[in-house]
């Protein structure tokens, strides 16, 4: 074959590659059809996890083990919060309520970055940006003057046709024009006066816009569905019983305790289109550490996986990962949905590694428990597993006047940041922190221990941090990579989430601030760059090239093969 013929074949292959030109699926006039999220094109990242499954697995393979060493920086963009943008950028679109002020909290890009039609949608609390995916230049910047609230992070935007949706820390759901960033409408989704704050990435399922919110004091967590066009409330689901006779009410001391019992909704769930079930995790009960006012029961539906019908807002099934939690072991991480074999027959499954140190595999149609395993032998707050497959709390590890040494610490073995599942290796991937803390009961007055208060103490170090691959059939670790050194690493800050691809790559962040590409079969490192990521890596095709995208504090980085 001549050199000219080889060059022609290479050019044709590039033109025929997924995403060689802007795909035919995208019509700029109509924007993102929500039906396209069910089968996402390869030249986009359409929702929080890329698709509805929560697997964070991409079928792209242009970037693979043989060429990942040539992955290079394509561009980097610095995003700036506040009502005035950097010189040369478009005027900032400033909004907010009459009570809002120019607070300018430090920018940290922690959440998902959508890529739709060659445009990136990036967020930090009170801020949203549209960037050009080809060179990173700013197209528009929306800034929300806030009333306050907790600004720990924002998980990203949702999108429906030509509208994008953002939750604000002071509990507004804001609809923006995706092309211009101009505000279309806003709806208050929870009370700021009751100390709610909102950070979840909205999830669009058909004509349902799903949002979650919570309160670290003593109000009930909730999941809500809004009309994505008008912003009208369709239904509201409380994660704890609100009235006598509600499911789970018998697991609380009384209905007043239940209705002020927490169960916050901090992170997006996953959606099963076959059953119309939205499966998500809930946070800790309130009071978090001193549980006398909650009664001796399990305190449903806190620290649990819940399956809710998206059309009706009705609960279909539940499974509690930490019954009667007394350690702030939220179960708010995004669950992972996949099809696999279990005991010799195909099953529709959901799996999660919870903050409390236990790994679970369930039937996602019925909620039937299949696997429960302790992911590390440092975990010591339990007394085993009951017949339902749920861990049994050890009261001796509750916070005590004399002090109790507990593992994991309050940050958990893992946290809200995304886990991943690779259907080729059939392994589940997560970061694990082996930590210890000592906590003392600081007050016997239940009113003085509301929310997350009433328990002084300190972390006691750790046995280190690991990246693990788990067999979903057994809950056992197949391989682990133990990071060098020990110490109380904050998993929320240093381990922002995982991505696997058909190119036989696993992208993860290590405690040194490196973004590392690894072999998903054994964890062997293949490539790295030191950028201190704060968001999980994402990937998509654009103009025939596979990009790796990641946020790092106030920067957005895009990498491509050199």
pLDDT at site 23: 57
Residue range 48-59, pLDDT digits in tens: 999 999 999 999
Residue 400 pLDDT exceeds 80 = no
In terms of C-beta distances under 8 Å and separation of at least 24 residues, what long-range contacts does 11-17 make, across chains too? 14/544, 15/544, 17/62, 17/541, 17/544
The C-alpha atoms of residue 238 and residue 313 are separated, in whole angstroms, by 10
Tokens encoding 362: 């369930």
Where does 426-513 show beta strands of DSSP type E? 427-439, 457-471, 477-482, 499-501, 505-509
The C-alpha atoms of residue 259 and residue 255 are separated, in whole angstroms, by 6
The C-alpha atoms of residue 59 and residue 540 are separated, in whole angstroms, by 10
Mean pLDDT, residues 344-351: 97
Greatest CA span in the chain, whole angstroms? 85
User: Which residue(s) pair with 518 in the sheet?
Assistant: 506, 525
Closest CA to 422 of 53, 69, 66, 111: 53
Tokens encoding 520: 């998903």
Closest CA to 497 of 6, 113, 37: 113
Tokens encoding 37: 């999220």
pLDDT at site 15: 39
The C-alpha atoms of residue 236 and residue 239 are separated, in whole angstroms, by 10
Residue range 494-516, pLDDT digits in tens: 478 999 999 999 999 988 889 99
In terms of C-beta distances under 8 Å and separation of at least 24 residues, what long-range contacts does 243-251 make, across chains too? 247/300, 247/315, 248/300, 248/301, 250/297, 251/295, 251/297, 251/298, 251/299, 251/300
Q: Kindly list the strands in the beta sheet with 369-374, ordered across the sheet, starting from the edge strand earlier in the chain.
A: 336-342, 345-353, 358-363, 369-374
Mean pLDDT, residues 306-326: 98
Tell me the pLDDT band of 486, cut-offs 50, 70 and 90: low
Residue 341 pLDDT exceeds 70 = yes
The C-alpha atoms of residue 134 and residue 113 are separated, in whole angstroms, by 14
Closest CA to 198 of 231, 248, 157, 235: 157
Residue 11 pLDDT exceeds 70 = no
User: For the whole prediction, is pTM greater than 0.85?
Assistant: yes
Centroid of chain to Cα 17 = 30
Q: What are phi and psi of 527, to 5 degrees?
A: -165, 150
pLDDT at site 459: 83
Q: DSSP for 99-157?
A: T-B---PPP---S--EEETTEEEEEETTEEEEEETTT--EEEEEEEEB-----S-----
The C-alpha atoms of residue 59 and residue 141 are separated, in whole angstroms, by 32
Q: Which 8-state DSSP code applies to residue 37?
A: G
The C-alpha atoms of residue 90 and residue 484 are separated, in whole angstroms, by 45
Residue 393, CA atoms < 13 Å, CB-side half-sphere: 21
* 143-155 as b/e: b if 16+ CB within 10 A: bbbbbebbbebbb
The C-alpha atoms of residue 200 and residue 372 are separated, in whole angstroms, by 27
Residues sharing a CB contact under 8 Å with residue 546, sequence separation 6 or more, in sequence order: 60, 62, 63, 503, 539, 540, 560, 561
The C-alpha atoms of residue 222 and residue 238 are separated, in whole angstroms, by 4
pLDDT at site 53: 98
Is 426:435 a contact under the CB 8 Å cutoff? no
Tokens encoding 90: 């478009």
Tell me how many degrees the CA angle 374-48-552 measures, rounded to the nearest 5. 85
Is the dihedral angle over the CA atoms 408, 429, 212, 225 positive or is it negative? negative
Is 195:183 a contact under the CB 8 Å cutoff? no
Tokens encoding 146: 């806030």
Residue 13 pLDDT exceeds 50 = no
What are the structural domains, with CATH classification, of the chain?
31-561 (2.140.10.10)
The C-alpha atoms of residue 122 and residue 108 are separated, in whole angstroms, by 10
Tokens encoding 503: 């190119």
Is 409:437 a contact under the CB 8 Å cutoff? yes
Percent of the chain with pLDDT over 70: 94
Q: Peptide bond preceding 301: is omega within 30 degrees of 0, i.e. cis?
A: yes
Where does 274-335 show beta strands of DSSP type E? 277-281, 304-309, 315-320
Tell me the pLDDT band of 7, cut-offs 50, 70 and 90: very low
First-to-final CA distance of the chain: 26
The C-alpha atoms of residue 28 and residue 161 are separated, in whole angstroms, by 9
Residue range 133-184, pLDDT digits in tens: 999 999 999 999 999 999 989 999 999 999 999 999 999 999 999 999 999 9
């Amino acid at each position: 074959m001549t050199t000219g013929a080889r060059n022609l074949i290479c050019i044709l292959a590039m033109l025929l590659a997924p995403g060689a030109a802007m795909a035919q699926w995208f019509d700029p006039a109509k924007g993102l059809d929500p039906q396209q999220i069910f089968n996402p094109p390869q030249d986009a990242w359409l929702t929080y996890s890329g698709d509805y499954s929560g697997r964070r697995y991409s079928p792209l393979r242009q970037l693979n083990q043989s060429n990942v060493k040539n992955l290079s920086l394509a561009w980097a963009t610095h995003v700036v919060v506040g009502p005035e943008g950097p010189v040369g950028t478009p005027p900032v679109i400033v909004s907010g309520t009459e009570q809002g002020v120019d607070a300018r909290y430090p920018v940290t890009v922690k959440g998902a970055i959508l890529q739709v039609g060659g445009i990136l949608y990036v967020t930090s609390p009170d801020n949203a940006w549209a960037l050009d995916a080809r060179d990173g230049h700013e197209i528009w910047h929306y800034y929300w003057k806030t009333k306050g609230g907790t600004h720990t992070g924002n998980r990203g935007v949702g999108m429906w046709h030509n509208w994008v949706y953002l939750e604000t820390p002071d509990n507004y759901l804001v609809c923006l024009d995706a092309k211009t960033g101009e505000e279309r409408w806003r709806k208050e989704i929870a009370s700021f006066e009751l100390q709610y704050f909102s950070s979840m990435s909205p999830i669009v399922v058909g004509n349902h816009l799903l949002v979650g919110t919570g309160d670290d004091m003593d109000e009930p967590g909730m999941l809500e569905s809004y009309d994505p066009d008008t912003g009208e409330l369709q239904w509201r689901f409380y994660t704890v019983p609100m009235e006598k006779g509600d499911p789970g009410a018998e697991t609380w001391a009384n209905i007043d305790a239940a209705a002020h019992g927490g169960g916050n909704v901090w992170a997006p769930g996953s959606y099963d289109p076959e059953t119309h079930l939205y499966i998500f995790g809930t946070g800790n009960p309130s009071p978090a550490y001193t549980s006398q006012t909650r009664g001796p029961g399990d305190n449903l539906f806190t620290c649990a996986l819940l399956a809710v019908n998206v059309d009706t807002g009705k609960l279909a099934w539940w499974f509690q990962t930490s019954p009667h939690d007394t350690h702030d072991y939220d179960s708010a991480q995004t669950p992972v949905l996949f099809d696999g074999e279990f005991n010799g027959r195909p099953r529709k499954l959901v799996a999660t590694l919870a903050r409390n140190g236990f790994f679970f595999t369930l039937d996602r149609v019925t909620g039937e428990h299949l696997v429960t395993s302790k992911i590390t032998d440092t975990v010591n707050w339990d007394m085993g597993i009951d017949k339902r497959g749920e861990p049994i709390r050890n009261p001796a590890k509750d916070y005590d006047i004399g002090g109790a040494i507990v593992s994991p610490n309050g940050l958990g073995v893992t946290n809200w940041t995304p886990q991943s599942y690779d259907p080729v290796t059939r392994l589940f991937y997560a970061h694990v922190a082996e930590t210890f803390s000592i906590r003392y009961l600081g007050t016997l007055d239940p009113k003085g221990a509301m929310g997350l208060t009433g328990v002084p103490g300190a972390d006691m170090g750790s046995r280190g941090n690991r990246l693990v691959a788990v067999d979903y059939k057994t809950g056992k670790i197949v391989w682990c990579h133990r990071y060098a050194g020990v110490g109380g690493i904050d998993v929320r800050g240093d381990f922002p989430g995982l991505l696997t691809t058909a190119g036989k790559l696993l992208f993860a962040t290590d405690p040194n601030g490196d973004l590392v590409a690894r072999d998903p079969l054994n964890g062997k490192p293949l490539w790295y760059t030191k950028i201190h990521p704060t968001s999980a890596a994402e990937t998509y095709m654009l103009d025939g090239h596979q990009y790796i995208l990641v946020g790092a504090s106030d920067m957005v980085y895009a990498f491509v093969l050199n």
